[in-house]
Amino acid sequence: MALEKENKIHPGKGIRINYKGNFDMDSLYKDIKSWYGSHNYDYYEKDMTEKIKPHGNSLQLKMIGEREVDDFVKFEINVEFNEVLRLKKVNKGYSGDARIMVRATMILDHANNWKNIPFLFYLYNNFILKKKILNYYWPRIYNEMMDMNSVIKSSLGLIK
């Protein structure tokens, strides 16, 4: 396995959470934002689109968290509300169908110090630093991605 500048940690296209029923969107949003803050991630929203439709609103939201681990490695964990369909306000929250994607990426040389010497970058990542990347950085971001997954599922009531 050759290490690249950006290494996806998630399987396939990401961890997908499907939910149908009642949920508190405001609480879910606050839980995710709070998780980013408690894990020292810089948080921002890339896109938020809400469309009003007769059968219920449609919502798309991309939440991005980035954290510099050190001078060489940066973690990025994204939560994307891909589709929240038939979103209707009910007594205590909302009702609808949600598809949420959780993705994590480990970015090596985020400051682009090695961009002019790609061969040395390849050697450094795949021979000198490879053991540390696979045994230290990779498990850390994987555990944080799974923790974010648990926070979302817990907020939706999928796990207790």
Q: Which whole-number Å values give the CA distances from 10 to 136, 138, 145, in the listed order? A: 16, 11, 8
In angstroms, how far is the first alpha carbon of the chain from the final one? 37
Q: How far apart are CA 54 and CA 151, in angstroms?
A: 31
Q: What is the pLDDT of residue 115?
A: 86
- Residues with Cβ within 8 Å of 31's Cβ and at least 6 positions away in sequence, in order, are 151, 152, 154, 155
Q: What is the pLDDT of residue 155?
A: 92
- The mean pLDDT of 45-62, rounded to a whole number, is 82
The percentage of residues in the chain with a pLDDT greater than 70, rounded to a whole number, is 99
- Residues with Cβ within 8 Å of 103's Cβ and at least 6 positions away in sequence, in order, are 8, 10, 13, 14, 15, 77, 78, 80, 145
- The mean pLDDT of 42-61, rounded to a whole number, is 84
Domain ranges across the chain: 6-156
Query: Over the stretch 65-113, which tens digit does the pLDDT of each residue have?
Result: 999 999 999 999 999 998 777 777 777 777 888 899 999 999 999 999 8
Mean pLDDT of the chain: 90
Instruction: Name which of 137, 134, 29 is nearest 76 in CA terms.
Output: 137
Q: Which residue's entry shows tokens 């990401």?
A: 14
Sign of the CA dihedral 20, 23, 98, 155? negative
Q: What is the pLDDT of residue 1?
A: 67
